[in-house]
Amino acid sequence: MAKKPASKPKETPVAGKPSSLVDTRVIYCGDNLEQLKKLPDGCVDLIYIDPPFNSNRNYEVFWGETKEKRAFDDRHASTQAYIDFMRPRCVELHRVLKKTGSFYYHCDWHASHYVKIMLDQIFGENQFINEIIWKRQSAHNDAKQGARHLGRVHDTIFFYAKSDEYAFTHLYKTYDQEYLEKFYKHVEEGTGRRYSLGDITAPGGAAPSKGNPHYEFLGVTRYWRFSKEEMERLYKEGQIVQAKNGAVPRQKRYLDEGKGVPVGTVWDDIGPIQSASDESLGYPTQKPLKLLERILEMSSKPNDIVLDAFCGCGTALVAAENLGRQWIGIDVSPTACRVMAKRLRDVCKIKEDEKLWRIGRGFVVRDLPWTEAKLRAMPPFEFENWAVIALGGRPNVAKVGDMGIDGRIYPVSATPKKDKGELGFMDVWYPIQVKQKDKVGRPDIDSFEAVMTREDRTKGFFVAFDYSSDAMSEIQSFFKKSGKSIIALTVKDILDEQIAYKLA
């Protein structure tokens, strides 16, 4: 099902020519460390990255972060491993950034303090511009009953510039009702214009620094911002108001002349993606388009090149396309690359087409390793690994005596068993069965049903090239009898990006 964009383009998108330095409108499939080495120095204007905390696990594409459920020691050891993993990648990202470019690193409490130190070392402490706090959920979503910590409701986005020549545009938010009622409480008679009353005394009070004029006006003697003549003119025009005799006069500031509230470092006006929203693709790590559009509007201009080297389901690429920027995406997961290609086609209505791409329209996906033919020819164990990882699961380490289970999915949304402590989440998992078969029949489903019954699982995943109609009706009657569901996925579902909708 095609999804609509959640927010409309704010500027007319420019078709734009690919840059002469580097190919744009390209999704590269592969480890970004390798892919980045192919890019020349100083070739992109803006980089946004949102790496998974434990980057060796592709399955986070689907199920998100499970790390916080682990014991502290494990987390601490992994933090070092995470920084070791990220450092060479950030060095490469710094290299490919233009002198005028900006860099945004999206992370959270797991590693943000370590990331800041690493980035200070790579970019230079003085190139740190801002720490942005994105309030992504309300407190009750995190502070579970009995938890002895505050709700972890925000992500951190570090903003660095490569040099002092970085491009930057101040943004303004529309005023919310509470702000309007508090600060723009006056309504002008006759015109109906809302206004606030602003201070017109000189900055610095009784000792202003800039030699402001000192005189009496409406019975009040002060250092003022305006000359006496200017003050009188404004007063005649009805711009200066004195609330009562003896009160310090103030100047009307009209709401319709204001730009809005300047965007600061705390972003609490962009909500998380709701699963029912048009924008949602069903991935827990998907970031809202509005968040990326704000970053792009602040730190890039139309036709600038935006790079996301951990681009997941391609939010930064869609934002770039919406705002008429050029873009480059990199992701190690072939499934993520297919999902974002589909999103660009469905949402941005651009074609994945080599010929169009050559003339500066359309886009291409490079270095995808998988085709149905290659998968058929793979050794069975490798095929099993591919399928399990593509589903966001963990393959079984032992391939012999796997008791009908090729992998397990640990959904992050599942509630761990209370009596199992820190590792309680390990009890909530769904089995994956993989068959490198053209037609899975009823007996294959029967034996998977036995596995699900034996392991007392409510949901299981089956992957094959196709299913007989008998197999499909057996899945239905098993659900009717036991309430347990088997999700039958084909290799084509996975390759054709349908997987997100089936898993959501």
39 vs 486, which CB is nearer to ligand SAM? Answer: 39
Quick count: other Cβ atoms within 10 Å of Cβ 321? 24
Positive or negative: CA dihedral 337, 360, 315, 85: positive
Rule CB under 6 A: which residues touch ligand SAM? 31-32, 50-52, 55, 58, 61, 285-287, 310-313, 315, 330-333, 336
Least distance CB 21 / ligand SAM (angstroms): 21
Q: Supply 92's token pair.
A: 């490469």
The minimum distance between CB 366 and ligand SAM, in angstroms, equals 13
Shortest CB 343 distance to ligand SAM, Å: 9
**Cα angle 66-380-311, degrees, rounded to a multiple of 5:** 40
Bridge partner list, 345: none
Phi, psi for residue 493 in degrees, rounded to 5: -55, -45
Counting Cβ atoms within 10 Å, is residue 312 exposed (0-12), middle (13-18) or buried (19+)? buried
CA-CA-CA-CA torsion sign (336, 342, 347, 352) = positive
Residue 31 or 120: the one with the smaller Cβ distance to ligand SAM is 31
Beta-carbon count within 10 A of 271 CB: 14
Residue nearest to ligand SAM (CB): 312
Q: Are 194 and 184 in contact (CB under 8 A)?
A: yes
CA 491 to CA 487: how far, in whole Å? 13
What is the CB neighbour count within 10 angstroms for residue 353?
A: 13
448 touches 404 (CB < 8 A): yes
Q: Tell me the C-alpha distance between 169 and 23, whole Å.
A: 26
Q: Which of 379, 370, 385 is nearest to 492 (CA)?
A: 370
Shortest reach from residue 218's CB to ligand SAM, in Å: 57
CA dist., res. 178 & res. 24, Å (int): 43
Q: Give start and end residues of each alpha helix (H) in 359-468.
A: 372-377, 380-390, 442-455
